[in-house]
A and B are shown apart, each in its own frame.
Chain A
Amino acid sequence: MASISVPGAIAGQPARSKANYLNASSGFLSWAFTLDHKRIGVMYLVGIFTAFLLGGLFALLVRTELLTPGPTITTHDWYNRFFTLHGAIMVFIVIIPGIPAALGNFALPIMIGAKDVAFPRLNLASFYMWVIGTLFAISTLAFGAVDTGWTFYTPYSTKYAFNGMIPVVAGAFILGFSSIFTGLNFIVTIHKLRAPGMGWFGLPLFLWSLYATALVQILATPVLGITLLLLLVERTLGVGFFNPELGGDPVLFQHFFWFYSHPAVYIMILPAMGVMSELISVFSHKHIFGYKFIAFSSVAIALLGFLVWGHHMFVSGQSNLVGMIFSAITFTIAVPSAIKVFNWLATMYKGSISLNSPMLYALSFMWIFGIGGLTGLFLGTMATDVHLHDTYFVVAHFHYVMAGTIFVLFGGIHYWWPKMTGKMFNEPLARLSCLLLFVGFNVTFFTQFMMGSHGMPRRYYNYPAQFQMYHQISSAGSYIMGLGVILMVGYLLHSLARGRKAPDNPWGGATFEWRTSSPPPVENFHEQPVVDDLYDYEKLFWDEQAGGYVRREVPDGAARPAH
């Protein structure tokens, strides 16, 4: 490229990149009332990350309490509140909206070449509903908090639990609406606003997963909403829907709850799998393998996810036959999940892999999700579940699955960070932090598998001395993770102030967001990008001067220079 070095400008990035969505307008109000999906995405990210820190703090309190049997730092009442708040915050406030609302909001319209989502006002409204729901949920700390666990099982929640029940349930209800509206917005956006020429099979895989997620969100969340309303009615007006003393059926609550909450696990995992497909392909610099299989497996997972809720209720008195059927369907979900993993592996095979921090997060997820998935088979099998039910084995399993998706959230944050902020973070520190999280995670939760299979029940404040060693190792692991998170917050904030300016395409991605400036202009693009194969990396070359990748036609016979 015969580029002339202009002082202050980077090759391939002429002066046009001055105005962007971050500096186009300023002041608190310009953010508070923004209709720009990118700003809304960033606000979600800030909010969700803050909530994650709070949820993490509660996790550390729980783990600290468990350092010794009996009282360590708090009372059993507060212990119950800690793990309830930890679980409720992580599930309803962090992971469920995490990837779709924060990363999806930012990336989705750009990835289809649109200016914004279909209903920008609805988008802002769902953000504020998230805020209000979160405030409700956290305000419970002032009303005696909640000690039911995040599942709110009746009749404990309707009859005995502390008064925080009402705000927390109201909060979860509002968060549900936020989730439905986001899903609706995404579906319509993907349908209506794709760039001319972009067919369904031209969609980036992340968007396939967001589409499938949105379907689940819309179909399952109303069930949770109605369930929570019934719970409130029972608690405040004394109508016995679930309390057997009042002519209700407590198992019915479990059915309703898990009919939402199992699909909710897929609301958490599907978007993560979508991000994975992007990360794996971009950092292997190789065309994604089995595009259609990955796309359809998202939809298959979404639909199968509705049929397995009963595996949470093997010991609730349902008949063996029903249990066996739920067990069998549960196993079938492993198939589409495995399809995805094998396609990622096939993509990496013979790729030229860069072990940048987003890729490290992606690889961590493969490991973690692998363990989570395999241990799920123990729990999906009735015979073993009866032994493992409500032990730490379950706690370890769902952290490997649910908290594992946090790794993808982090991977995604690192991946899109340069695009969002226009700044590069400190890569060596990012790798160190990923390592700390990975090691800490496995130390924390692998020990819990062992504890659980030896019979340590979950949610217990006290335990026999024989478990102390396990608990202490587990707590040590959680402190290592805490360190990793603090380090991450540190270098990310530092990059905002001091980071190197990000090139348009630091990683070599081929999707549309890498064809606009970093950060993107308000309208997302300077000129409409041309639709082609979004997983074709043949035209991307590392450009020393730009400090990133640029698109160029391949000169005849020239090999693609490796980076």
Chain B
Amino acid sequence: MARDKGLKAQRARRPLAATSLAAKPGIPRALCPFIPLSLAMLLTFAGSVQAQIADRVPRELENVGIEQKLDAQAPLDLEFFDENGRPTTLRKLMDGKPAILTLNYYGCPTLCGEQLNGLLRTLKDMSWRPGTKFHILTVSFDPLETATLASAKKDAYLGELGDPSAAAGWHFLTGRKPSIEALTQAVGFTYKWNADQMQWAHSAATIILTPGGRISRYLGGLYNDASTMRLSLVEASEGRIGTLYDSLFLWCFHYDPDRNSYAPVAMNIMRLGGGVTVAAIALGLLSLWLFEMRRRRMAAALAG
């Protein structure tokens, strides 16, 4: 908090410097002051907006136990159990496709249900079905939960989705403690047993894995709209799924996974636009100015 304020103060102090410059009358012919000045204005602008964005990391997220480990390798060869209680690995299930990984426990009375319902809503809005272009790995981090529980959950969600074909793509897993700990640690997910409430204290994150199992993005929030999900998967697939349009689109509007936000991207677009504008004006005014100097010199030469 204190650090943020200091940062802002530092950034926001800039306008005052520009102020004293602006108030000082100069020779109008010399338009040069306008150029650094307009640059200064744009920089001030960019600076103070940036300060505000940096300030807006939600406080709640700071203590909820997800440390983003972007680009880290998730261990895909640990042993888990599928809904039928058969041992399997994440690598086998992903089948060379990108995957959405969620960490939940099936007896969760609150957050997990919300998160999975959100995911269900997203799936309903999406044209892609799990299994064809991507897989969903829902892993219980409670080592006491069994495949029976997982299979009941799976039936409930697939029934809600109304598409039995998705059964091959959405996997509800359970595992033993070592596997669970290795996986959660690798993806930066921390959780605790809260003995008072007899519940796991944890947070919700939807993690996108590349086909090779590297972490490409964490999606915050309980619901992500279909286009964000689709683009996240395209991005994670390393070009293996999605259309040309998707890739072009991603090229222009690259989500900033560090901040979980498009806002800094918008800022960059604005900076680019501002830079181009200032450059164009500077060039235009400079050439005018030179032109005028030459005209004046010629007039002076003619006069005598």
Which A residues have a C-beta under 8 Å from some C-beta of B? Answer: 184, 187-188, 191-192, 200, 215, 218-219, 222-223, 225-227, 230, 233, 237-242, 245-249, 251-252, 255-256, 259, 292, 295-296, 299-300, 303-304, 306-307, 309-310, 318-319, 321-322, 325, 328-329, 332, 335-336
Determine the distance from Cα of A419 to Cα of B291 in the docked complex, in whole angstroms.
33
Interface-forming stretch among B68-76, B85-93, B221-229? B221-229
Contacts of B185 in A (CB 8 A): none
Instruction: Specify which of A251, A295, A307 is in contact with B19 (CB 8 Å cutoff).
Output: A307
Instruction: Specify which of B12, B228, B274 is in contact with A238 (CB 8 Å cutoff).
Output: B228
Interface-forming stretch among B21-29, B170-178, B204-212? B21-29
Determine the distance from Cα of A309 to Cα of B23 in the docked complex, in whole angstroms.
18
Contacts of A304 in B (CB 8 A): 19, 22-23
Assuming the contacts A245-B223, A247-B255, A300-B23, asked whether A310 and B262 have C-beta atoms less than 8 A apart, the reply is: no
List 4 tightest A-B contacts by C-beta distance, closest first: A249-B263, A303-B22, A241-B266, A238-B227
Q: B192 within 8 Å of A by Cβ?
A: no
Q: B18 within 8 Å of A by Cβ?
A: yes
Q: Are B227 and A237 in contact (CB under 8 A)?
A: yes
Instruction: Write the chain A residue with the least CB distance to B11.
Output: A322
Q: Are A222 and B292 in contact (CB under 8 A)?
A: no
Min CB–CB distance B248 → chain A (angstroms): 12
Q: Are A321 and B12 in contact (CB under 8 A)?
A: yes
Instruction: Specify which of A249, A295, A325 is in contact with B12 (CB 8 Å cutoff).
Output: A325
Q: B56 within 8 Å of A by Cβ?
A: yes
Q: Are A310 and B263 in contact (CB under 8 A)?
A: no
Q: Are A252 and B49 in contact (CB under 8 A)?
A: yes
Min CB–CB distance A17 → chain B (angstroms): 33
Q: Are B269 and A192 in contact (CB under 8 A)?
A: no
Assuming the contacts A247-B262, A249-B261, A319-B8, asked whether A192 and B19 have C-beta atoms less than 8 A apart, the reply is: no
Contacts of B255 in A (CB 8 A): 247
Instruction: Specify which of B29, B48, B221 is in contact with A245 (CB 8 Å cutoff).
Output: B221
Q: Are B277 and A230 in contact (CB under 8 A)?
A: no
A-contacting residues, B29-62, CB 8 Å: 29, 34, 37-38, 41, 44-45, 48-49, 51-53, 55-56
Chain B interface bracket (under 10, 10 to 19, 20 to 34, 35 or more):
35 or more
With A238-B225, A318-B52 already in contact, 5 other A-B pairs whose C-beta atoms are closer than 8 Å: A192-B291, A252-B52, A304-B23, A321-B9, A328-B16
Q: Are A322 and B277 in contact (CB under 8 A)?
A: no
Determine the distance from Cα of A295 to Cα of B28 in the docked complex, in whole angstroms.
10
Determine the distance from Cα of A259 to Cα of B270 in the docked complex, in whole angstroms.
11
Min CB–CB distance A256 → chain B (angstroms): 7
| 14 A-B residue pairs with CB within 8 Å | A188-B288, A222-B274, A226-B269, A230-B266, A238-B228, A241-B265, A242-B266, A246-B228, A252-B263, A255-B49, A299-B28, A318-B52, A322-B51, A322-B52
Min CB–CB distance A213 → chain B (angstroms): 14
Contacts of A296 in B (CB 8 A): 25
Q: Are A240 and B228 in contact (CB under 8 A)?
A: yes
Interface flags for B222-264 (1: CB within 8 Å of A; 0: not) read 0111011000000000000000000001000101000011110
Determine the distance from Cα of A96 to Cα of B256 in the docked complex, in whole angstroms.
36
Assuming the contacts A192-B291, A241-B263, asked whether A219 and B19 have C-beta atoms less than 8 A apart, the reply is: no
Q: Are A241 and B262 in contact (CB under 8 A)?
A: yes
Which B residues have a C-beta under 8 Å from some C-beta of A? Answer: 4-5, 8-9, 12-13, 15-16, 18-19, 22-23, 25, 28-29, 34, 37-38, 41, 44-45, 48-49, 51-53, 55-56, 220-221, 223-225, 227-228, 249, 253, 255, 260-263, 265-267, 269-270, 273-274, 277-278, 281, 284-285, 288-289, 291-292
Instruction: Write the chain B residue with the least CB distance to A307.
Output: B15
Assuming the contacts A307-B44, A321-B8, A321-B9, asked whether A219 and B281 have C-beta atoms less than 8 A apart, the reply is: yes
Q: Are B56 and A332 in contact (CB under 8 A)?
A: no
Q: How many A-B residue pairs have CB under 8 A?
A: 143
Contacts of B266 in A (CB 8 A): 230, 241-242, 248-249, 252, 256
Q: Are A329 and B281 in contact (CB under 8 A)?
A: no
Assuming the contacts A230-B269, A245-B225, A256-B270, asked whether A237 and B49 have C-beta atoms less than 8 A apart, the reply is: no
Determine the distance from Cα of A248 to Cα of B225 in the docked complex, in whole angstroms.
13
Contacts of A233 in B (CB 8 A): 253
Determine the distance from Cα of A92 to Cα of B295 in the docked complex, in whole angstroms.
38
Determine the distance from Cα of A320 to Cα of B285 in the docked complex, in whole angstroms.
38
Determine the distance from Cα of A241 to Cα of B267 in the docked complex, in whole angstroms.
9
Q: Are B56 and A251 in contact (CB under 8 A)?
A: yes
- Of A191, A296, A329, the most chain B CB neighbours within 10 A belong to A191
Assuming the contacts A226-B273, A319-B8, A322-B12, asked whether A239 and B48 have C-beta atoms less than 8 A apart, the reply is: no
Q: Are B223 and A226 in contact (CB under 8 A)?
A: no
Contacts of B48 in A (CB 8 A): 255, 310, 322
Q: Are A240 and B5 in contact (CB under 8 A)?
A: no
Q: Are B53 and A252 in contact (CB under 8 A)?
A: yes
Contacts of B221 in A (CB 8 A): 245
Q: Are A329 and B52 in contact (CB under 8 A)?
A: no
Min CB–CB distance A389 → chain B (angstroms): 18
Determine the distance from Cα of A200 to Cα of B31 in the docked complex, in whole angstroms.
12
Min CB–CB distance B145 → chain A (angstroms): 31
Instruction: Write the chain B residue with the least CB distance to A180.
Output: B277
Contacts of A230 in B (CB 8 A): 266, 269
Contacts of A247 in B (CB 8 A): 220, 228, 255, 260-263
Q: Are B28 and A200 in contact (CB under 8 A)?
A: yes
Instruction: Specify which of B225, B228, B277 is in contact with A219 (CB 8 Å cutoff).
Output: B277
